[in-house]
């Protein structure tokens, strides 16, 4: 009997991995998810996070990587530098360069802990994260989760996003790639996916009717799309 395929889940900007729960619950038994949780009290750049996550990569046996939002470039770094028996990479609502055109990379020096010392207004969370139809419980869950992370750490991660350039990594990645996008994503706009497809014509793409937090707000549809891709990738 074939053992379940291990799937390392690399979380979004908060880094806690706590919001993966609905998606993990939706996965079939032939996928074994492992949530990687980033330090909440230490500001690590993408290079340091690569070394941190590398400790979780299986020493033997096939596995896959999933990089959500902030962690997309990190998943590509790992795929190119420390592949092992990697069979595929799933990129979820993510990017390879700064996705927020209204905030230029030079503005990274203005990003500080002050941005995260208070909760984001509800309209901001609905617009950019959970969508207009999300429940009050989801709004609270997302806000409370961010509050578990040091504001200086959150700010450092935003600065990483504003200056990242993983285009060469996307082109170099030697394993199959899936991009799971959200049709209602106001944080990572459609132009980002167009750029990824231009850089990587063989990129497999699936779009789900959901806001930016697609794994959380559309877990079943996300799980089915990702499972199908992983089964095909593992069979190659």
- The CATH number that applies at residue 167 is 3.40.50.1820
Question: What is the maximal distance between C-alpha atoms in the chain?
Answer: 54
Q: Domain total for the chain?
A: 1
**Cα distance between residue 154 and residue 178, in whole Å:** 27
- Residue 208's pLDDT is 98
Q: Where are the beta strands (DSSP E) in the chain?
A: 5-10, 31-35, 63-68, 86-92, 177-182, 204-208
Residue 26 lies in domain: 5-235
SS3 107: helix
- Walk along the chain (236 residues) and give the pLDDT tens digit of each residue: 689 999 999 999 999 999 999 999 999 999 999 999 999 999 999 999 999 999 999 989 999 999 999 999 999 999 998 788 999 999 999 999 999 876 666 677 778 899 899 999 999 999 999 999 999 999 999 999 999 999 999 999 999 999 999 999 999 999 999 999 999 999 999 999 999 999 999 999 999 999 999 999 999 999 999 999 999 999 98
Indicate whether this model's pTM tops 0.85.
Answer: yes
Phi, psi at 149, each rounded to 5°: -110, 140
């Amino acid at each position: 009997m074939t053992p379940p395929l291990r799937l390392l889940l690399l979380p979004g900007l908060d880094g806690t991995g706590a919001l993966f729960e609905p998606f993990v619950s939706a996965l079939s038994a032939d996928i074994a998810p492992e949530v990687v949780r980033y330090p909440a009290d230490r500001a690590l750049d993408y290079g340091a996070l690569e070394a941190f996550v590398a400790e979780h990569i299986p020493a033997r046996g096939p596995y896959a990587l999933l990089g959500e939002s902030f962690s997309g470039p990190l998943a590509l770094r790992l795929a190119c530098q420390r592949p092992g028996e990697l069979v595929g990479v799933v990129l979820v609502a993510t990017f390879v360069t700064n996705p927020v055109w209204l905030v230029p990379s030079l503005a990274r020096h203005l990003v500080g802990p002050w941005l995260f010392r208070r909760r984001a207004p509800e309209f901001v969370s609905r617009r950019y994260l959970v969508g207009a139809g999300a429940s009050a419980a989801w709004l609270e869950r997302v806000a409370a989760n961010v509050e578990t992370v040091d504001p200086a750490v959150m700010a450092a991660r935003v600065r990483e996003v504003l200056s990242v350039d993983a285009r060469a990594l996307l082109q170099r990645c030697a394993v199959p790639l899936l991009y799971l996008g959200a049709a209602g994503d106001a944080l990572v706009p459609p132009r980002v996916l167009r750029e990824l497809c231009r850089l990587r014509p063989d990129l497999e793409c699936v779009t789900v009717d959901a806001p930016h937090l697609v794994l959380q707000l559309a877990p079943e549809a996300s799980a089915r799309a990702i499972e199908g891709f992983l089964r095909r990738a593992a069979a190659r």
